[in-house]
Amino acid sequence: MDVAFAKHDQSDYAGLGEMQQKVQALRDQMDTVELRWLELTELLEG
């Protein structure tokens, strides 16, 4: 994703903002999935 930011027109603030929102949404999804994975791991070990 960093490459996409670097290649994007740096004066296109709206476009960069949209890209940042997509990145944040993906990070939020990753956090949710990781938390669920940890919960399931604890259940299996417990």
State residue 22's pLDDT score. Answer: 95
State residue 46's pLDDT score. Answer: 80
Are 3 and 17 in contact, with CB atoms under 8 Å apart?
no
What lies within 8 Å, CB to CB, of 16 at 6+ separation is: 5, 8, 10
Are 21 and 13 in contact, with CB atoms under 8 Å apart?
no
| Ranges in the chain, pLDDT < 70 | none
State residue 5's pLDDT score. Answer: 84
Nearest to 12 by CA among 24, 43, 4: 4
State residue 38's pLDDT score. Answer: 96
State residue 1's pLDDT score. Answer: 76
State residue 2's pLDDT score. Answer: 82
